[in-house]
Amino acid sequence: MTTVAAMVAARAEDDRLGVLDAAGRWTWRQSVAEGAARAALAQSLRSDGPFHIGVLLPNGPEYLFWLNGAALAGAAIVGVNPTRRGEALAADIRSTDCTLIVTDHEGAALLEGLSLGLAPDHVLVTGSERYLELLAHFSADNGAESGPARDLVTHAGDVAEDALFQLIFTSGTTGTPKAVRCTQGRLAGIAEVAAPGYGYGPDDVCYCPMPLFHGNALMALWGPAVMVGAAIAVRPRFSASEFLDDVRRFKATKFSYVGKAIAYILATPVRPDDAENTLRSAFGTEASVRDRNRFRKRFGCYLIEGYGQSEGGAAINPVPGMPPGALGKPVDDVDLAVISPETGAECPRALIDPGGRLLNAGEATGEIVNRSGRGKFEGYYRHESAEQDRLRNGWYWTGDLGYVDADGFFYFAGRSGDWLRVDSENFAAGPVEAVLSRNPDVAVAAVYPVPDTASGAGDQVMVALELVPGASFDPSAFLAWLEAQPDLGTKWLPR
């Protein structure tokens, strides 16, 4: 195991392309120097308390430079979610003890008037006159052979593996977002495994459409790219309609994704030259089998599915010969199981017919649990109760639903908050969405519960559909199609 600081410092004399966006390009040598200047700037402003730097920025070179800088300075980046507003946004910053904030003019407007718990002069606004003046003082240490910025690169080996590097907020689907701790050693360890495992090489151009404040972009793309010296291409925000244009502009060979992003890309109008691009493969989570096949056929790019969490408590990797739709098997022979939330016992194995249809979803679906312990989970920052809930009974509870077939292959079935209870029967939204996604007119399906006002107890099944371009919705035809699906449970029918 190494550190992120050592990974970044290893690129300090690398003159290959390191960072690019629509406006410019930087070699790795330049990217590391830009990071070192920001590290020295942050250290010059360091005050009492944890060395936590809140970054409220869109994807871009500035964000990447601050990642490099925090690594070299031994600081922790707090990726602040720009979709948060008002007191919720301020609470995220205060709860993670940020002593410095880096944002742009748009972010500064969001922060105006909020109680952040730090001095106003510790909010740096990129592009402002003050920011540029402060940064110029440390940029390449003005040509000197040594100085605060250069010394940070030289002494990158002094940064410890257990130094906190990231506080990554959870999505908040089960309550207030929690900040996941990720040390330098853990992220470097992920990069060491992911880079060769998923075929990252120094000649790759890795397109990052997912936000850099989420674990997906950091762990599946940024870390492995730094490890091997691949170029990182960024745009401010994900755009399905601009995806292919970006790929061609950057000559991207890899990217990371989440399933919904793939569905949105596939929902864009088909062009006859879609397959004329440089993409080779992508790594991500939660794309359906149908969408993976459609993406490969349309764009000529393989989507490699895996399973993991920002917390690091459980991981499942694909293996050769696994059935369609499976995630794979647990890594390192970890004792992963699917546990019933009602009984605490292991769920029966899933019965899957030759067509890939799940026949016993009700009894086979439960929560994915690591019975070996906490895995790589390093805890939540200042949230002990949530941490203990994750580790109840000495196991790590993922909060994700799944099922396991007779051969030990795991399948994803949704989040623990996706349970529905209809006529006293519990089931997950995931298998229902899997059935709905087979309809050729459906681009994206989302299943969720609404109160059963007729009975006064339990739920009814509600579904929201986004159709593929050019399709129209015929309720009668759709109902007839649903009733013809042999694996649609009797309680699963939307009403």
Question: What is the pLDDT, as a whole number, of residue 457?
Answer: 66
This prediction has a pTM of: 0.89
Q: Collect the ranges in the chain with pLDDT lower than 50.
A: none
pLDDT of residue 417: 77
Report the distance separating Cα 63 and Cα 304, nearest Å: 26
With tokens 């399905």, the residue in question is: 240
Measured CA to CA in angstroms, residue 228 lies from 11, 195, 206, 209, 257 at distances of 9, 7, 11, 20, 20
- Give the model confidence (pLDDT) of 178-214 as tens digits: 999 999 999 999 999 999 988 999 999 999 999 999 9
* pLDDT for the residue 72: 98
- Asked if residues 41 and 66 have their Cβ atoms less than 8 Å apart, the reply is no
In one letter, which amino acid is 465? Answer: L
Name every residue whose Cβ is closer than 8 Å to that of residue 282 and which is 6 or more positions away in sequence: 254, 255, 256, 257, 301, 302, 303, 304
